[in-house]
Chain A
Amino acid sequence: MVKRLPKIGQMKIQQMAFMLIAVVLFFALVGLFVIVIRFSGLKQSSVILEEENAMLLVTKLANSPEFACGSSFGDSKLSCIDADKVMMLREHISDYSGFWGIAEIEIRKISSDSKECNLENYPNCGIIQVYSKNVNKLPASSNFVALCWKEGSDRGINERCEVARLMVSSEDKT
């Protein structure tokens, strides 16, 4: 003869089982909540680092070899961008994908129109878009620079410089 457990005992076991499942679910949900908050903080700090990178980079980019005038415009100049070199950099920009770890680099002449530069209209144009990644971008950090290039005339080679803004944007990963 099979001995049956009393009905009250069965109820208690069921209650406890449900309670324990509820406790496990509760802690699992709390854990998930904590992880979500932590990882959103991580994303935020990654964005902050990207912004910081763009901000520090914009102050130094003009002096990097791909941009700097060096001694090609007389004495070495600080924050001077060689426009001739940058126009050629545009032609080879696929090689530089991801090189600076940012989303966009643009140079805008202050006193000129908003015509984008290409090899046909250069140097009679206002914006040199050096690099642009097809992603969401954060607001640009910018720095004033001298944009210089060489022009031929009857009297020989002329060096022309204009004030421009070097703008660097990082990717918005949020």
Chain B
Amino acid sequence: MDTKKGALQISFGWLFAIIVGMFIIFLAIYGVIKLMNTEQTTLDVKTGKQIGVLLNPLETSFESAKTSSFTLPAESRIYNGCNDEGNFGKQLISISQKSFNKWTETNLNASFTNKYIFSKRIVEGKKFYIFSKPFDFPFKVSDLIYMTSSEEVYCFPDAWGDIEEELSNLNQENLLLENCTEEMIYVCFGGNCDINVNYQDGTVEKDGEIMYFSSDALMYAAIFSDVAVYECQLKRLMKRVGELSLLYGDKSILIGNAGCDLEIKTDLAELIVLAGNLDESQDILGLTTNVENLNEKNDAGGDCKLW
């Protein structure tokens, strides 16, 4: 058979080797990409879990508030998720980091049952500030954790009294009382700012929506959170109020054997029902009378105090 001049002569062996070689290289590249994605997801989940573990030391004892910060190795987005199902609900944290100028995708969460983080749904940055404050209702329920990015600076131009003192003592770099500039987020206790606090009515107005609070701890929570995060975390807190009320109710019976008679069990049972029925933050205002009653009865208990 004549061979045409100029035609490429490739033997079957070469052709076979090229096709299979390409297949092997394709498989190798595919495997490496998959492995890189898995590694990135692993890193994201690990970082999320690490953040949760690092929040343990923020549990306060007698301090009124405590601040801390952490820096991640790359520009990151922390997704603050909240699930209010079950006995206590869940705090979910997932991380997305910038890799090759693209945000990594992850739908894997690190979950914690005993933590309450108040922040925007997505907090973006490299350095993050966290401060915590105990929430009493009327007994200590938990330490609330407020997380903000160093890229967002909050200004409290007209903060007064305890709030001014507390913010000043915190000395957190992105919470300012003076020397504010236009690009900052203004939080005002009177007037029209980005976030408006009505301390008397117990409301925080943000992005046209209103959140209700009954203590300073919840006021900060409303200031630094998105409405959805705040409402969900509040429901989780009320679930814990219910569980703690059960403990204190049973404790009152136990110490009753030692001669204590506080007559507080009915009020605690009422609190369990009211806290369990909380559907939105507005309902918290209806609980304040009950909480005050409980506090008075407990304070009057002398040696028999429950908390």
Interface residues in chain A, defined as those with a beta carbon under 8 Å from any beta carbon in chain B: 9, 12-13, 16-17, 20, 23-24, 27, 31, 34-35, 38, 42, 45, 49, 52-53, 56-57, 59-60, 63-66, 68, 70-72, 76, 78-79, 82, 84-85, 87-89, 91-92, 95-96, 98-101, 150-152, 156-157, 159
Contacts and interface: CB of A to CB of B under 8 A. Distances in A.
Closest 4 CB pairs of A and B: A152-B258, A56-B56, A60-B59, A152-B259
Interface stretch (B190-198, B201-209, B240-248): B240-248
Given A16-B17, A91-B250, A156-B303, A66 B113 contact: no
B121 interface: no
Contacts of B24: 20, 23-24, 27
Contacts of A57: 56
B142 A65 contact: yes
Interface of B: 12-13, 16-17, 20-21, 24, 27-28, 31, 35, 39, 42, 46, 49-50, 53, 56-57, 59-62, 87-88, 112-114, 139-142, 240, 243-244, 246-248, 250-251, 254-255, 257-260, 303-307
Contacts of A68: 140
Contacts of A20: 17, 20-21, 24
Nearest to B11: A9
Contacts of A85: 247-248, 251
Best-buried of A20, A31, A59, A65 by chain B (most CB within 10 Å): A65
Please report whether the interface of chain B is mostly helix, strand, loop or mixed according to DSSP. helix
A70 B60 contact: no
A53 B54 CA distance: 8
B28 A65 contact: no
Please report whether the interface of chain A is mostly helix, strand, loop or mixed according to DSSP. helix
Given A53-B53, A101-B113, A78 B247 contact: no
A95 B240 CA distance: 11
Contact of B307 (A72, A91, A92, A156): A72
Contacts of A34: 35
A78 B63 CA distance: 11
Contact of B259 (A12, A27, A157): A157
Given A78-B62, A152-B257, A92 B303 contact: no
Given A72-B305, A88-B250, A99 B56 contact: no
A27 B42 CA distance: 23
Given A49-B50, A157-B259, A88 B247 contact: yes
Contacts of B140: 65, 68, 70
Contacts of A49: 46, 49-50, 53
Nearest to B21: A20
Contacts of A66: 244, 247
A63 B17 contact: no
Given A13-B16, A52-B53, A70-B307, A92 B246 contact: yes
A157 B304 contact: yes
29 contacts: A16-B16, A20-B17, A20-B21, A23-B24, A53-B53, A56-B53, A57-B56, A59-B57, A60-B56, A60-B57, A63-B60, A65-B142, A66-B247, A70-B307, A71-B307, A72-B306, A76-B62, A78-B62, A84-B251, A84-B254, A85-B247, A89-B247, A91-B250, A92-B243, A96-B243, A100-B114, A101-B112, A101-B114, A152-B260
Contacts of B46: 45, 49
A65 B42 CA distance: 33
Given A68-B140, A85-B248, A150 B13 contact: no
Contacts of A88: 247, 250-251, 254
A99 B113 contact: yes
Contacts of A78: 61-62
B259 A95 contact: no
A58 B56 CA distance: 10
Given A49-B53, A95-B87, 19 more contacts: A12-B13, A27-B27, A49-B50, A52-B53, A53-B53, A53-B56, A57-B56, A65-B139, A72-B306, A72-B307, A85-B248, A85-B251, A88-B251, A89-B247, A91-B250, A96-B87, A150-B304, A157-B260, A159-B303
Contacts of B247: 66, 85, 88-89, 92
B129 to A, nearest CB: 19
